[in-house]
Homo-oligomer: A and B are copies of this chain.
Amino acid sequence: MRDDYVHGYSEREAVRLVDQAKTLAPLMHHDTSYPEGSRVLEAGCGVGAQTITLARNSPQAEITSVDISKPSLNHAKALIQSEGISNVQFQTADIMELPYEDETFDHVFICFVLEHLPNPVGALLSLKRVLKKGGSITVIEGDHGSCYFHPETEEAVKAWQCLIKVQTDLNCNPLMGRELYPLLNEAGFEDIQIDPRVVYVDESKGELVDGFIKKTIIAMVEGVKDQSIDSGFITPETWDKGIQDLHRSAEPSGTFFYNFFKGTAKK
């Protein structure tokens, strides 16, 4: 387990991830549903933010959710129990060394995980090994280079770019979304379909102004404040002005744009 991992290890971050997942569930999950009796592997479930929706949308599927982090898994277990969901088993496992026979699962689901792995093609190959021939993989990633907003100020852009720099320094890939096609291709998957999922927010989209811009995006940026200032990416003054300016995109005259990518492919 890596101590420098970027998401999911504080209670506050866990709350943010679950908030984010709730806001984005219709956009990201509406077309993912697995049939009765099918065996589904959720790889890198973290604190269970996606697990709830995954399990609810496929109540007759048998879901196995794994993560390398025991604290995260404990959080996920408690969350799933509190929601009264019963079709999920949890297991501690490293995606690179999955404790399953070849061709164990009918489907694989992996969301916001590849961005954190030093060898994403290796991870996809490992997932492919435990996937049955003809089975599907579903991969969801964001792309922090896809974000823009109005009004756009120099300070707001700088604060946003700190997020990219901090994640890059942690050996994450904050621009993963745009790479899904070549990565799935390199891992030898077939019938690859990449579907951009746009989150566009203006005054008319009330719940997203709060749930996405403020609770998901600005909260995520605020999470890298200390690392950004300590690393010299930004001054405290520019940071404060940048965060203040980002909030202007949530005002009635502002707009905000971010793009997620959902990829599906077959073995």
Q: Which residues of A contact B (CB under 8 A)?
A: 143, 145-146, 148-150, 152, 175, 178-179, 181-182, 185, 192-194, 196, 198, 200, 202-204, 252-255, 257, 259
Contact = CB atoms under 8 A, between A and B. Distances in A.
Contacts of A252: 182, 185
A179 B145 contact: no
Given A145-B148, A146-B257, A148-B145, A202 B181 contact: yes
Chain A binding site: helix, strand, loop or mixed by DSSP? mixed
A148 B150 contact: no
Task: Count this chain's copies in the assembly.
Answer: 2
A150 to B, nearest CB: 4
Given A150-B175, A196-B200, 16 more contacts: A143-B148, A145-B148, A145-B152, A148-B178, A149-B178, A152-B178, A178-B255, A179-B255, A181-B202, A181-B255, A185-B203, A185-B252, A193-B204, A194-B200, A198-B259, A257-B259
A213 to B, nearest CB: 13
A175 B146 CA distance: 14
The 9 lowest CB-CB distance pairs between A and B, nearest first, are: A181-B202, A150-B178, A182-B253, A196-B200, A145-B148, A196-B198, A178-B255, A150-B179, A181-B255
A266 to B, nearest CB: 13
Contacts of A182: 150, 202, 252-255
A179 B249 CA distance: 11
A31 to B, nearest CB: 16
